[in-house]
Amino acid sequence: MAGAAFLLGMAVTAAFALTSLALYHHNESHLLRLRARQVGSVLTAAVPAIQTTLASAAALADATGGDAEKFRAFMAPYAGPGRQFASASLWPVKASKPAPTVVVGAAPVLASLPRQARALFARARHSRLLNTTGILGSARPSVGFAFSTPGGEHRFAVYAENPLPKDRRSALAGNSAFSDLNYALFLGRSRNPKNLLVTSLHRFPIEGRQASTVVPFGASAFTLVVTPRGPLGGTFFADLPWIIVIVGALISLAAAAMTDRLARRRQHAEQLTGVLDRVAAENHQLYTEQRGIAQTLQHALLPDALPEIDGLRVGARYLPAASGIDVGGDWYDVVAIDDRRALLVLGDVSGHGLHAATTMALLRHATLAYAAEERHPAAVLTKLSDFVNSGSHDYFATMLCALIDADARRVTIASAGHMAPLLIEGDDSRYLDLDANVPIGVERVLDYEETTVSVAPGSTLVAFTDGLVERRGEVLDAGLARLRSAATGKQLTRDDLLATLTRDVATDDHQDDTAIVVIQWQA
Amino acid sequence: MAGVDEDEVAQIVVDTSFDAAGTPIVSVSGELDSSNAASLEAAVAPLAAAHAARLVFDLSALRFMDSAGIAVLLGVAAKVQTVQLREPSDAVRRVIELTGLTGVLPIES
């Protein structure tokens, strides 16, 4: 990902840089052509200054018949060392052997080149413009300008000459308007190296970006070639492609780094999600295991089997809370006293967890011990209360203790703060009316009371813990009514009744453990 | 995960004030069960130790109470001479009644 982001960034950068570079080159070439034309204009502008001087001198010579003194006087300000021309001379144009009659300043080199002089003055005679000649093969290379007043009666030509710089090389002054250029100036309309007049360049042929222009110069012409010494549009534009490349590369690197970071974060997030999923799965497994352990313990504390007693059908269910890992404190026992009677014990220790479970185990075994010596449920509870309140503790337990007589169809029952069981007789049912004595563990009770109830054949007693009827947001009586309604009028067998109660009354989200014991007398 | 989500903690708010006679009035609102009974126990333990004569639980805003809540009230009742319940809701009152505790945890008249 990071690599892709970097490559994409670099591709965009390259596109921008190349575009910028192309624009830069286009711009520089355009600027250079403009500069060449400007230089040409400056050169052309020099023509009148030369031509006017020479033309004036020619007119004077014609008017004075080539008067040497007058010519000398006129040209003295223009010719000589440090002046406009190094040399100025007056030449009779019709002489068979051209030679100057008057010379101001240095001796003209042209004087030693009669053929070139004759050709020059021949051109001058037929031209109304300044003529230029280059004396380039000479030991003293020079450039010369000639002007002759047109017309057959004029006999003189004025010639001015300037030496070319050593090696034809002359840099433009640093403060010149053209200091940003190198140049080469050729005489004529081509850039023939033999006609090179002056240049700032050291090497030929001229390489790189260049612009050339032909500059009219009187009757003659110069060819000017310029090359940039640096970027004409300013260094910023020259540097722009590089700036783009560098900035682009940095941006690409940043993008790559960011992409890398995002990718790492995503990877990290995915890893984290994986870890969380794993932890959740482990938690779930742990929860399931602990819940399993809790239920195993719970069942271990409950009776393995219920007694078989003639005339009675006994059934029980233990429903762990829909969720949670705590062991509940609910328990039940049905023990046979003899072949006709059974003792039912059902209890609920407050709270959950191992503490409640161990308390439950303690109470269960204590109860069974007392039941072995006492036949009266109230006496069992009283002894238990005495036993429990002999030490300090922080729990309490509600309990039912009932003696079930199969033959006599009778139940003797005592409650320690526990909800009374439901008695179903035919299509009718009722909760037994019991004295709700205080739970075990609250205070020592010396006189738990018991109630004896006779039941019709086929009656059913349903004892339960509060998980079966207790719901948030309603009074307990509503749950009791619901239980009664579910259990009544259907002549349910023991097993069907347990199934119905389990299904209808114990909701899927019941939050408390629930124990149910059903005792059914034979019809 | 199911077990974690469903293992919700019921909310109670415990607020203690004192009447003119200096009797602490512990107002318990919300739903009191095994998930939060310990917090009520911690809140009332110093009161039970310091004001041994009488303590009132104002249960007018308590919507639900299970055996764990009863255990806390009983624990206070064991230390304080007189514990009374003020204006318990029907749901709470019936739990007290059905558990046979109206004598130990009397409702204020």
Q: What is the pLDDT of residues A321-363, one digit of tens each?
A: 766 656 678 889 998 888 899 999 999 988 766 677 777 888 8
User: Domain residues of chain A, as ranges?
Assistant: 2-228, 298-521
Residues of B in contact with A326 (CB under 8 A): 34
Answer yes or no: do B67 and A438 touch at CB < 8 A.
Answer: no
Minimum distance, in Å, between the CA of residue A470 and any CA atom of chain B: 9
Across chain B, mean pLDDT equals 84
pLDDT at position A520 is: 94
Please tell me which residue of chain A has the smallest CA distance to B77: A442
Restricting to A residues 298-327, those with a Cβ less than 8 Å away from any Cβ of B are: 322-326
Which of A438, A442, A512 lies closest to B66 in CB terms? Answer: A512
Minimum distance, in Å, between the CA of residue A487 and any CA atom of chain B: 21
Which of A284, A350, A509 lies closest to B71 in CB terms? Answer: A350
Minimum distance, in Å, between the CA of residue A325 and any CA atom of chain B: 8
CB A413 within 8 A of CB A348: no
**SS3 label, residue B25:** strand
User: What is the C-alpha separation between A382 and A446, in angstroms, rounded?
Assistant: 6
- Evaluate if residue A109 carries a pLDDT over 60: yes
Please tell me which residue of chain B has the smallest CA distance to A389: B78
Q: Return the higher-pLDDT residue of A481 and A375.
A: A481
Answer yes or no: do A416 and B100 touch at CB < 8 A.
Answer: yes
Q: Among A90-94, A302-306, A382-386, name the most confident range.
A: A382-386
Answer yes or no: do B91 and A475 touch at CB < 8 A.
Answer: yes
Across chain A, mean pLDDT equals 84
B66 in A contact zone (CB under 8 Å) = yes
CB A374 within 8 A of CB A380: yes
pLDDT at position A66 is: 83
CB A311 within 8 A of CB A340: yes
A55 in B contact zone (CB under 8 Å) = no
Domains and CATH numbers, chain B: 7-98 (3.30.750.24)
Answer yes or no: do B6 and A291 touch at CB < 8 A.
Answer: no
Q: What mean pLDDT comes out for the span B54-62?
A: 93
Share of residues in chain B with pLDDT > 90 (%): 29
A419 in B contact zone (CB under 8 Å) = yes
User: What is the C-alpha separation between A266 and A264, in angstroms, rounded?
Assistant: 5
- Evaluate if residue A375 carries a pLDDT over 70: yes
Restricting to A residues 481-520, those with a Cβ less than 8 Å away from any Cβ of B are: 509, 511-512
Answer yes or no: do A476 and B94 touch at CB < 8 A.
Answer: yes
pLDDT-based confidence at A404, cuts 50/70/90? Answer: very high
B81 in A contact zone (CB under 8 Å) = no
pLDDT at position A421 is: 96
Answer yes or no: do B94 and A477 touch at CB < 8 A.
Answer: yes
DSSP string for residues in A172-210: PPTTSTTTTEEEEEEESSS--GGGEEEES-SSSS--SS-
Residues of B in contact with A325 (CB under 8 A): 3
pLDDT at position B7 is: 46
Residues of A in contact with B99 (CB under 8 A): 398, 417-418, 436, 438-439
What is the tens place of the pLDDT at every residue in A411-436?
999 999 999 999 999 999 999 999 88
pLDDT-based confidence at A154, cuts 50/70/90? Answer: low
- Evaluate if residue B1 carries a pLDDT over 50: no
Share of residues in chain A with pLDDT > 70 (%): 92
A331 in B contact zone (CB under 8 Å) = no
Residues of A in contact with B36 (CB under 8 A): none
Closest Cα to residue A329, out of B31, B107, B66?
Answer: B66
Which of B3, B91, B104 lies closest to A442 in CB terms? Answer: B104
Q: Return the higher-pLDDT residue of B10 and A18.
A: A18
Minimum distance, in Å, between the CA of residue A409 and any CA atom of chain B: 26
Q: What is the ipTM of this complex?
A: 0.83
pLDDT at position A54 is: 84
Q: Among A194-198, A292-296, A463-467, name the most confident range.
A: A463-467
A355-364, B11-20, B63-72: segment of lowest average pLDDT = A355-364
Q: Return the higher-pLDDT residue of A38 and A404.
A: A404
A474 in B contact zone (CB under 8 Å) = yes
Residues of A in contact with B103 (CB under 8 A): 438
Name A220's bridge partners.
A217
Minimum distance, in Å, between the CA of residue A5 and any CA atom of chain B: 40
Residues of A in contact with B37 (CB under 8 A): 351
- Evaluate if residue A237 carries a pLDDT over 80: no
Answer yes or no: do B99 and A472 touch at CB < 8 A.
Answer: no
B105 in A contact zone (CB under 8 Å) = no
CB A57 within 8 A of CB A75: yes
Minimum distance, in Å, between the CA of residue A482 and any CA atom of chain B: 15
User: What is the C-alpha separation between B77 and A408, in angstroms, rounded?
Assistant: 42
Closest Cα to residue A163, out of A86, A258, A226?
Answer: A86
Q: What mean pLDDT comes out for the span A279-292?
A: 76
A286 in B contact zone (CB under 8 Å) = no
Closest Cα to residue A416, out of A392, A442, A391?
Answer: A442
CATH code, residues A298-521: 3.60.40.10
Answer yes or no: do B74 and A436 touch at CB < 8 A.
Answer: no
Residues of B in contact with A283 (CB under 8 A): 1, 4
Tell me, what amino acid is at A431? Y
What is the tens place of the pLDDT at every residue in A158-200?
999 988 887 777 776 666 667 778 888 888 888 888 888 888 8
- Evaluate if residue B3 carries a pLDDT over 60: no
Answer yes or no: do B66 and A470 touch at CB < 8 A.
Answer: yes
A123-137, A316-330, A395-409, B90-104: segment of lowest average pLDDT = A316-330
A284 in B contact zone (CB under 8 Å) = yes
Q: Return the higher-pLDDT residue of B28 and A251.
A: B28
Q: Return the higher-pLDDT residue of B28 and A94.
A: B28
- Evaluate if residue B4 carries a pLDDT over 60: no
pLDDT at position B5 is: 39
Torsion sign across C-alpha atoms A188, A190, A196, A202: positive
User: What is the C-alpha separation between B25 and A459, in angstroms, rounded?
Assistant: 48
C-alpha distances (whole Å) from A372 to each of A171, A334, A354, A376 are: 133, 13, 27, 11
Residues of A in contact with B33 (CB under 8 A): 511
User: What is the C-alpha separation between A443 and A385, in angstroms, rounded?
Assistant: 7
pLDDT at position A390 is: 62
Q: Return the higher-pLDDT residue of B52 and B57.
A: B57
Q: Return the higher-pLDDT residue of A400 and A76.
A: A400
For residue A252, give both structure tokens: 């690409």
CA atoms within 13 A on the CB side of A484: 17
Closest Cα to residue A333, out of A262, A402, A259, A395?
Answer: A402
B72 in A contact zone (CB under 8 Å) = no
Answer yes or no: do B98 and A419 touch at CB < 8 A.
Answer: yes
pLDDT at position A502 is: 85
Please tell me which residue of chain A has the smallest CA distance to B94: A476
pLDDT at position A373 is: 84
CB A72 within 8 A of CB A123: no
User: What is the C-alpha separation between A72 and A389, in angstroms, rounded?
Assistant: 153
User: What is the C-alpha separation between A487 and A490, in angstroms, rounded?
Assistant: 7
B8 in A contact zone (CB under 8 Å) = no
Answer yes or no: do A439 and B34 touch at CB < 8 A.
Answer: no
pLDDT at position A152 is: 56
